[in-house]
Structure 1
Amino acid sequence: MFFRWLKPYMPRSLYGRAAMILILPVVLLQLVVSFGLVTRHFQGVTEQMTRTVAREVQLVMAALEAQDRTPEALPVVLEELDMSVTYPETLSTQDTRVWYDFSAIIVTRDFKKFVPETSAVELAQNRKVFLHLALPTGPAVLSFERGRVSASNSHQLFVNMVFFGAVLTFVAYLYLRNQLRPIKRLAAASEAFGRGRSVPYAPGGAVEVRAAGSAFLDMRSRIERQMEQRTLLLSGVSHDLRTPLTRFRLGLSLLDDEDREPLEKDVDEMQRMLDAFLDFARGVYEDDSETIDPIELIQSIVDDFQRSGAQVSLYETDGTGEVALRPETVRRAIENLVGNAIRYANRAEVSVQINDRYVRVRVEDDGPGIPPEDREEAVKPFARLEPGRNQNRGMGVGLGLSIAADVARAHGGVLRLKQSERLGGLCADLVLGK
Structure 2
Amino acid sequence: MTTSTLPTRAPLLAGDFESSYPDLVRLLTRHAGSADAARELLHDTWLRLAQAEMPPAANAPAYAYATARHLLVDQHRQRSTARAAEATAAQPMATDADTIPRAAAHRQALATVERALAALPLRTREIYLQHRLLDTTQAELAAAHGVSLATVEREVARAAATVQRALAPRQGQPEGALPSARRRGLGALLGLGALLGSGGLLWRLWQEQVPHWQVAWRTLRGQQARHTLPDGSRVTLDAQTILELSFYGARRYGVLHGGAAFFDVARDTARPFALDCGTLRVTVLGTRFAVERQAGQVRVEVEHGRVRVERMDASPGALGGVVELDVGDSLLVDTTDAGAPLPAPQRTAATAPWREGRLGFDRATLAEIAERLSRYHPRTLEVDPRVAGWRVTAEVRIGLADEWLRHVLPRALKVRVVDTAAGLRIGPRR
What TM-score bracket applies, with the shorter chain setting the length?
Answer: under 0.3
Give the structure-1-normalised TM-score: 0.19
Higher relative contact order (CA 8 A, sep 6+): 1
- Which is higher, the Rg of structure 1 or of structure 2? 1
